[in-house]
Amino acid sequence: MRIVLAEDSTLLREGLVRLLADEGHEVVAAVVDAELLVAAVETYRPDAVVTDVRMPPGNSDDGLRAAIEIRRRWPGIAVLVLSQYVEKRYATQLLSDRSDGVGYLLKDRVAQVEDFLDALDRVAAGSTALDPEVVQQLMSRTSHADPLSRLTPREHDVLRHMAQGHTNAAIAERLHVSQSAVEKHVNAIFDKLGLADTAGYSRRVLAILRYLGS
């Protein structure tokens, strides 16, 4: 996989370059600010981008805004965003247009190499990858008036794994249940969230967005 990396911390940037290279990926550019990130993507047209949220030149959400621009200009390029803290609005902004080929991970997840690489692979394959901690915090913020409060504990578990980007088969394996059981839970989630089977829309994506918007 050809990757453009954007991270202003020299230590983390060099560590990620080495890690990705060891896994057989090619880091075609490793840049230190959001403007260089967009320029590198335009030059190299990589398979995926890995970027920090807070970067120069503004040291605010420059990396996130660059990621959104990249998704708009080059929709075929997967984007994995790294953040120091859980920021609900960042995850929502990334998924606002579409949820394919995008991920949002906490930087601590990079230290868990297998989880980080798995998320990168899922994003590159066109799926969604949300950090489990992000999902957990979003889940804990739901109010009793929210439609999500109508879900059973098992349905919450299924939706949490859906939001992380796992397929029904992967969810079944993780929860130690049959795939048909997961499919029943997924359909129940759609019904309880009032998500009709409308042509042109993915109920799975809408459920995740409803989850993020809670």
The CATH number assigned to the domain holding 50 equals 3.40.50.2300
Please state the rounded mean pLDDT for residues 86-111. Answer: 77
Q: Select from 105, 130, 155 the last residue of a domain.
A: 130
Q: Which two tokens stand for residue 174?
A: 């993780």
What is residue 149's predicted lDDT score, i.e. its pLDDT? Answer: 77
* Pair 55, 11: CB distance under 8 Å: no
Please state the rounded mean pLDDT for residues 74-91. Answer: 84
What is residue 24's predicted lDDT score, i.e. its pLDDT? Answer: 95
Q: How far apart are CA 37 and CA 29, in angstroms?
A: 9
Asked if the structure places residue 137 within a domain, the reply is no
Asked if the structure places residue 135 within a domain, the reply is no
3-state DSSP assignment of residue 77: coil
Please state the rounded mean pLDDT for residues 42-55. Answer: 95
Among the residue ranges 19-28, 36-45, 100-109, the one predicted with the least confidence is: 100-109
Asked if the structure places residue 169 within a domain, the reply is yes
Among the residue ranges 22-26, 88-92, 202-206, the one predicted with the least confidence is: 202-206
Asked if the structure places residue 136 within a domain, the reply is no
Among the residue ranges 48-52, 53-57, 82-86, 203-207, the one predicted with the least confidence is: 203-207
Residues 10 and 109 in one domain: yes
Nearest residue to 55 (alpha-carbon basis) of 40, 75, 76: 40
- CATH number where 200 lies: 1.10.10.10
Residues 177 and 207 in one domain: yes
Q: How far apart are CA 82 and CA 178, in angstroms?
A: 33
Mean pLDDT value across the chain: 84
Residues 33 and 83 in one domain: yes
Residues 59 and 163 in one domain: no
Total domain count, the chain: 2
| Tokens 């080929």, residue located | 101
Give the pTM. Answer: 0.70
What is residue 143's predicted lDDT score, i.e. its pLDDT? Answer: 46
- Whole domain around residue 111: which residue ranges? 2-130
The terminus-to-terminus CA distance of the chain in angstroms comes to 35
